[in-house]
Structure 1
Amino acid sequence: MNLQVLPRSLSVPFCEVSQRLGLPPILTYADAVLANWKKRDPDGNLELLLTFPGGESVRGFFMVTLLVELQAVPGLKSILDVINGICDNDVAVVTKALDVVSQAIDSMKQALKLIHEYVDPSIFYGIMRIFLSGWKDNLLMPEGLVYEGVQEKPMEFSGSSATQSSILHCFDELLGVQHDGSSAAFLRRMRDYMLPSHRHFIENISSRVSLRSFVLQQADERLTHTFEQCVARLVEFRNYHINIVTRYITIPASRARQLCASKQGLAEELDMIRKAPTALEERGTGGSGIMTFLKTVRDETKDTTITQCTNGNQVLPDSSMTDIQKAASELTIE
C-alpha cells in the first residue's frame, strides 16, 4: 500500500488552525469562497485573497459563487421573520417574509447564470477539479491522506463542494424539504464542513417550528401560494445547477473519453484532459455520485409542495425562539 503523506511541517499547524476554526483540515467551501475575498476599492469591487492554477476561470468561478451567496442574504435574514411570524400566529408577516425568500432564491439563480460568461468548462474540468477534490470516496486516493505528526492512520475528508454552503440547507429546513437515504446522509455529512455558527443556525431552524404545518393550518390562499412559489424556485435553482454540472462535468468527461480514444484534438486540450482526474468524472468534488445526487435532491424538493403532503410537525410556542435568535446572533451577515 503506497500511502500519501502530508509532511509534519504542514500537517501539524494546518490541523491546529482547522481545529480552532471548527473545520476539518482540508480546503472547504468556507475557505475557498466565504473567507476568500476582500474589497479592492471603496466602490466595493471584490478580489480573491488566494487562488490556484486556472487563470481568470478560477477567479470567475469563485466570484460567481460568492455572488450567489450575497444574493441569498435577504432570504437568510427573512428566515427569522418567518419564524417570528409563526410564533406570533401572524400570517401577513410570514407571507411577506416568504416573498423575500422566494425573490432571493430567484436572484441566486440569476447570479449563477454568470458562470457561463466567466468560467471555461475545459479549465474547470481539466484543472480546477483537481484542487477542489478531497481524499474521501476518491479512487485516486483510496486510503485517504496521512497527516504526519497528527495521526498515524490515514484520514479521509471530502473536497470543497457547494453542498457545504449553508444556504440551501437553511432553505430546505425552513420549507420542510425531506431528504432520505444516501442523499440525506451526504448532506448531513457536509454540515461537518461548515462553520460551527452556520451549522448551529441550520439545526435550530429544523428543530423549532414547521412552516409547512403552519401553512396547512392557516389554509390562507396567499400564504399557500407564496410557500409554493418558494418551493418552485428552489426546484428551478436545483434544475439549473444540474444544467451547470452537465456543461462543466458530464459533457467534458464525454469529450475527454472520445479524444483520448481517437487521440485527435489540439495538443493543449489533450494534455489538459490527460491531467484531469478520471476517477471524478461521475462524482462531485465532495465525493457524491453527482448526477444521481442532484436529481434526487431536486425530486425531493418537488415533493415538498403542499399538494404532496397534508401532515406537518407541531408549531412550537414563542419560547422556542430563544435558541434560534441566539444562533442567528452568531452569524456575520451584515
Structure 2
Amino acid sequence: MPSDSLLRRPHFLHISRHHTFDISTVAAADYDVDVHSGFMPPQEPVARLLGEYEAWEDLLDHAIGKLKLAGDAFATVQDREYIACWRQKVRELPIVDADPLYKDERALRRAHVVLSYLTHLYVHSVTHSPSCPISIPQSLSIPLVSVSRELGIPPILTYADTIDPSLPVGPNNIRSVTNITGTGDEDHFYMTSARIELRGVEALTLMRATLDETFLSDALTITRVSTYLTRLAGVIDDISALLMSVRQDCDPDVFYNQFRPWINGGTAHPSGWNFDGFAKLSGPSAGQSSLVHALDIFLGVEHPPHGSSESTENPTHPSPSFRPSTSSGMFLQKQLLYMPRHHRAFLSYLSKHVDQPKLKEAYNSAVDALKRFRDGHIRIVTLYIIAQAKGNVDPSSLFSSAAVQSGEEAKGPRGSGGTLLVPFLKSIRDNTSRTFIHRGA
C-alpha cells in the first residue's frame, strides 16, 4: 500500500478525541501545553499497567536488554533460542480489549509506549524478506491500533513515547521511558531531547507574550515585542547548546549500531509493516518535536513541499510572510488558514512594522538563532549517522562550515523518520535563511 494512502480521510488521525479545539486564543490550556513542562505531559506517567494489561509489561520486561538485533554477529545460539521463545509468547498472547483504558489518558499513553516498544522489538529481532511486508501479530496490532486511534497518534513508536518527566518537572528530574540497550548512551540521547523540550518552555512563554502585544502599534509595544524576540533568540541558542551536548555521553557508534536500528519504523523496510492497513509509518524523529514546529510557525518559516520551486528561489527575498503573492506565497497563505488567529495577527503585525529597525533586528536575531540550531542539527546528523554509515568516525572533518553549508555527506542514509537526512535538513535550514527581513524589505 502506498504510504500516502494511509492517511486518506476519514483516517483516525484526522479525528479529534471526543471534542473540537477552540483555536481562537493562545491560552496554553487550550492546547494541552503546560506552563512548566511545555509540550511534555505535566503529570507523572503511569509506571506500569496492571490487571490483564500486565502481560504486556511482562513481555517488555523479558525483552529489554535480553533480545539481540537481527544480524548481530555476537548473538549466540542461546540468544537466538531466547528470541524465538519470546516471539512465540507474543504471538500466543491473548488479544486484550483496550477500551477500559480510555477513561485514563495517562494509562492510554503508557499502553501506547509498551505496545509500540513490543512491536519494534518483535520486528527488529529477526531478519525479514524485503519483498513482503512485515506481519505484526494481532495480539499487538489490534490493541495498539485501538489505543492509537483514541490518542490520535500513529500506531508506532513516536518521539513523545521515548521520554517522560517526573514530578516536579525539571531538567534534572526526567527519565527515559524504556532503555532497549541498557546503555547510558541511549539514556543520554533521550534526555537531551527532553532537556531541549523543557528549555523550550520559556520560548513558548515569549511567543505567547509577543502574540498578546500584536493588537497595539505604539512605540512602547514595539519595544516590548523587540525585547521578547531578542530573548527568544537567546533561548534558541541555549537549545542549540543542549543539542550539541548530546556528544558528551552518547557515543556515535553506540547510537548508530546498537539502539538506532531498534527504533526504525516501517519506512526502513522496502515493503513496510503489515497491520490494519498500515504499511510505511516512520519511527520517532526530531521532526516530531512540537517545539520546533512552533518556532517555525511563529517566525513564519515556510517549508514548501519537497520539489517545489521554492528550493531555487532567490534567497535575497524578504521573509515569506512579506513576499508578494507567488506560488510559494500562495502556499504560505494556505498555511495561514490553519494558524490560530493570534499567529496570523503576529505575522501581519510584522509586515506592517517591517520599517522599524529595532523590530527588524530583533526578528532577524531570532531567525538567525533558529538557523544556527539547524546548522548544529546537520553537524550532529553528520557525526552520528552519515559518518557511521561511511565508516568515517573522525569528527574533525565533519564540523567545518563548508561541510555544513554543502550537506554533501548525506546522499543516501535516511533518518528514523524516513527522510534523506542532510539534504532534507539542509533544505529546511535554507528555508530558515530565506525568512530574514532584508534591509531593502
Q: What is the TM-score with the length of structure 1 in the denominator? A: 0.71
Q: What does residue 101 of structure 2 align with?
A: none
- Within-5 A mapping of 1:144-223: 144-147=272-275, 151=276, 153-182=277-306, 203-204=339-340, 208-211=344-347, 214=350, 217-223=353-359
Residue-by-residue CA offset, 1:58-117 (whole Å, 9 max, x unaligned): 100000111111111101122121111112233123222212321210110111121011
Q: What does residue 135 of structure 2 align with?
A: 5
Pick from 80, 86, 109: which aligns with 2:240?
Answer: 109
- Within-5 A mapping of 1:7-156: 7-33=137-163, 36-39=164-167, 44-53=172-181, 55-89=183-217, 90-136=221-267, 138=268, 141-147=269-275, 151=276, 153-156=277-280
Greater RCO, CA 8 A, separation 6+? 1
Give the CA deviation at 1:204.
2.3
Which of 174-183 and 50-59 deviates more?
Answer: 174-183
Distance in 1, Cα, partners of 2:418 & 2:440:
32
Give the CA deviation at 1:44.
5.0
Distance in 1, Cα, partners of 2:350 & 2:168:
45
Distance in 1, Cα, partners of 2:305 & 2:171:
46
Distance in 1, Cα, partners of 2:363 & 2:133:
51
Letter in 2 for 1:83: L
Pick from 274, 289, 306: which aligns with 2:437?
Answer: 306
Give the CA deviation at 1:256.
7.4
Letter in 1 for 2:295: F
Give the CA deviation at 1:128.
1.9
Give the CA deviation at 1:5.
1.1
In 2 relative to 1, CA 294–11 (structure 1 residues): closer, same or farther, beyond 3 Å?
same
Identity score, percent: 30
Distance in 1, Cα, partners of 2:427 & 2:353:
29
SS of the residue 2:419 aligns to: coil
Q: What does residue 23 of structure 2 align with?
A: none
Letter in 2 for 1:13: P
Letter in 2 for 1:27: L
List, as ranges, runs of 4+ consecutive aligned residues in structure 1 with deviation greater than 4 Å: 39-44
Give the CA deviation at 1:118.
1.2
Distance in 1, Cα, partners of 2:436 & 2:214:
19
In 2 relative to 1, CA 41–74 (structure 1 residues): closer, same or farther, beyond 3 Å?
closer
SS of the residue 1:100 aligns to: helix
Letter in 1 for 2:148: S
Q: Which one has a bigger Cα radius of gyration?
A: 2
Distance in 2, Cα, partners of 1:308 & 1:30:
40
Pick from 426, 430, 437: which aligns with 1:295?
Answer: 426
Q: Is the 8 A contact 2:368 2:433 kept in 1?
A: yes
Distance in 2, Cα, partners of 1:300 & 1:42:
33
Higher helix share: 1
Structure 1: any 5+ residue segments left out of the alignment? 185-201, 258-279, 311-334
Letter in 1 for 2:433: K
Distance in 2, Cα, partners of 1:85 & 1:134:
42
SS of the residue 2:427 aligns to: helix
Residue-by-residue CA offset, 1:131-187 (whole Å, 9 max, x unaligned): 221112x2xx2222122xxx2x45221110000001121111111111123189xxx
